Structure 1
């Protein structure tokens, strides 16, 4: 399929190309990529919504705006890391693993403070599943082959 003349080799369409990846990495990629898109959009919408809060509580609005900016930045980083992971970059796999650790810290902090509605636990469990997929034997073999240049991720 990747040898087809109609297969995208560069540009925007290549971002969605997952041929050549083990099934584990395909699933992990889509979890990270879609999660990143949702995080980026949620952060951007939250930033817009926080602007309304400035009229009533400027101090709280500033904090909410900063948190939403952070959420958007994490979502964007997640997208970049997922795309690099798909290309066999080991540093991207480590970055995504670190993001899973961060979601665990946030889930524990929210539980200890008694805030939130448990969404951080769901995020952690989904991130954990995507991270486990990154470290399974087929995934390990893909990253090893990518490092030695013996893979075609197209």
Structure 2
């Protein structure tokens, strides 16, 4: 027969601290003198409970689910020449439905700068041909650079249209083209007389391309590419 001192008393709510892995009930108050386990973080919002030792996002690190810069090599590379050409041809060159604002601005920068590059390149071509009469050596170098600039300008338009389709390989190729534009600007300035043969705008073209590259890799742009890839 048990004595009154040995009779177990019912536990009152809140008399036991929550065990690791259990979410404390609403209104729970720890007993006086209770010390939480090492590494325990109190929940910042109702329904959230931090496990002891669980990693917490540090300063400057995006929380889970928030967009951030993350580079991956594209896996949707072209397998044939038809995969390189824009779908439906060039009739939809100025249609940008469904693109985020960053990609719209980047797309028009690539297309307009590419078309202007083709226009000024053709004008500069006649200046280079005329230069062969009095400076054949410089004209030959300028002609090579001009042909490369024309090829880069044409590639910009085609790759921009493929980028608009959500092709990550086209975005990477445009990024590389921005580096090529920098090299053309350097060699054009080193060859001398570039401004008189249609090559003086390469520095401006590189700066414009750099802005377009940054916009292509913004968080909203990356989320859009991932969404298109997920529906492919």
Q: 9-18 or 117-126: which moved more? A: 117-126
> Hey, what does 1:32 align to over in structure 2?
110
TM-score (norm 2): 0.54
Gap regions ≥5 residues in structure 2:
1-86
Which residue is 1:145 aligned to? Answer: 227
Q: Secondary structure at the match of 1:14?
A: coil
Choose which of 57, 79, 94 in structure 2 pairs with 1:16: 94
Structure 1 equivalent of residue 131 of structure 2: 53
What are the Cα deviations for residues 94-124 of structure 1, in whole angstroms up to 9, with x where unaligned? 011112223344556677x595688544333
CA pair 66-108 structure 1, distance change in 2 beyond 3 A: closer
Change (3 A) 1:59 1:28: same
Distance 1:26 1:80 in 2: 15
Specify which of 188, 213, 230 is matched with residue 131 of structure 1.
213
* Structure 1 CA distance for aligned equivalents of residues 139 and 181 of structure 2: 23
CA distance in 1, matches of 2:147, 2:183: 19
How many pairs align?
141
State the Cα RMSD in Å. 2.6
* Residues 216 and 222, structure 2, Cα contact 8 Å, conserved in 1: yes
More helix by share: 1
Flag the structure with larger Rg. Answer: 2
SS in 2 for 1:88: coil
User: Counterpart of 1:13 in 2: which secondary structure?
Assistant: coil
Name the CA distance, whole Å, in 2 between partners of 1:125 and 1:139. 20
In the other structure, the counterpart of 1:98 is: 176
Ranked by relative contact order (alpha carbons within 8 Å, sequence separation 6 or more), the top structure is 1
Residues 60 and 81 from structure 1, CA distance in 2 versus in 1: closer, same or farther, beyond 3 angstroms? same
Q: Cα gap change, 1:45/1:119 in structure 2, threshold over 3 Å: closer, same or farther?
A: closer
